[in-house]
Structure 1
């Protein structure tokens, strides 16, 4: 996709404050909440990192997500109500500004590698907005973006903490993870547990962010890449 970067900055202070819990599968709002997170992803992909202004239209969002215009409108209403986006209408044209853009408090969100054929987000094309698992998967994905460690390139987080930050019950986390893994959005690494020397814990890695940095990467390889001046999403 011409002009789009490999990754973009996503404001994450609201995620770390538990904001994902507001996206619930109840009161008939499940579909709109899924649409909201889908729209948020597209808006972030088109946001100027300095101003927060997003150069995006309904047509762009429709192509990227496969959402109807009615569902896009519902999703944008959710984002605006939660204060994650500002919307202005000027001369029959809407402009969007992502809240929280700044030099700190952001996570690296994959962008260009997620698109197929230049305009469509592959991961979202099979979403029908009728399954809670779709909402839960998006919530986990945004959480992993926010909690990704710079040193490990993965989110080292327990099921208890996932539930605490997202509101997704433990019994529903596995199915949400399976959806992410199946679509290549997350890799699960198993690492020695810090609690039990005989146990293992899971780390969740975003494959499109610094793919060379994983459990098997040496410190020297990381140093060489840094010295080479590669654009690294710390």
Structure 2
């Protein structure tokens, strides 16, 4: 008996960020050519392709925690020790951050950082260990010892990572507004679906809705929100293409 593959199964079976390594069993990370000011933060995204963004609920009682957790994930990824070459076996995305660092970079309050961290740890998306002086924590993304598809998050900076003080567009996204939570979810899923190939994604609202629990009628509003914040640009569908093309724009680090 044949098995009909659902849209989510089709996505989860496809490793958007990986191609087989030539003459090797080790996958190579796909990276587009980048300018001197362009950088790439990587975020393990198997859970996104498996529909994990549905965990981030949008009811008023849960919205702040959900948005805070997503802002924390982006901050950890952006501050992680990024390598210019492919991902090594067992290597994980990791960053050493204090609550003060997270507050300064993302604009989250101490209460929201605690709630976001508890949520991420509770769902196995982040592991945390205490390390060093000044009440800093080591945050680990992804699973140890196995390869995972990677969402490559574009970012631009003019100063060294050690001196970053603010991720401007994360500060601008509120933890109380539904359209901002939806914008965060869609930005992450765009990065996961693109896999760092060319920053352009043919967006099908039905698949995005299935993987995020965002109503299809709310997706244009979230995309408009991202476009106003210069996080995406839109190219309407043309003849021969059945979906709008969304181009991902980088986060700016200051």
TM bucket (normalised to shorter chain) is 0.7 to 0.9
TM-score between both structures, scaled by the size of structure 2:
0.71
Cα distance in 1 for residues equivalent to 2:192 and 2:219: 17
1:194 deviates by 4.3
- Determine the structure 1 residue equivalent to 2:249: 207
Give the secondary structure class of the aligned counterpart of 1:28. helix
Give the secondary structure class of the aligned counterpart of 1:205. strand
- Determine the structure 2 residue equivalent to 1:213: none
- Determine the structure 1 residue equivalent to 2:194: 148
Give the secondary structure class of the aligned counterpart of 1:111. strand
Query: Aligned Cα RMSD in Å?
Result: 2.7
TM-score between both structures, scaled by the size of structure 1:
0.76
Aligned with 2:105 (options 64, 76, 89): 64
Deviations 1:129-151 (A, max 9, x none): 22111110000000000111666
Give the secondary structure class of the aligned counterpart of 2:116. helix
- Determine the structure 1 residue equivalent to 2:229: 183
Give the secondary structure class of the aligned counterpart of 1:95. strand
Cα distance in 2 for residues equivalent to 1:38 and 1:13: 18
Give the secondary structure class of the aligned counterpart of 1:67. coil
Cα distance in 2 for residues equivalent to 1:93 and 1:201: 44
Judge conservation of contact 2:42–2:93 (CA < 8 Å) in 1: no
- Determine the structure 2 residue equivalent to 1:121: 167
- Determine the structure 1 residue equivalent to 2:3: none
Cα distance in 1 for residues equivalent to 2:40 and 2:131: 29
Deviations 1:3-42 (A, max 9, x none): x971111111111000001101126111010000001100
Deviations 1:63-108 (A, max 9, x none): 1111111111111111111111001235754221112476540021
Give matches, 1:12-161, under 5 Å: 12-26=45-59, 28-49=61-82, 50-89=91-130, 93-100=136-143, 104-113=148-157, 118-148=164-194, 153-161=199-207
**Higher RCO structure, 1 or 2 (CA under 8 Å, sep 6+):** 2
Deviations 1:180-219 (A, max 9, x none): 0001101112243547xxxx6301111239xxxxxxxxxx
Cα distance in 2 for residues equivalent to 1:60 and 1:9: 19
1:48 deviates by 3.1
Cα distance in 2 for residues equivalent to 1:24 and 1:7: 28
Judge conservation of contact 2:179–2:222 (CA < 8 Å) in 1: yes
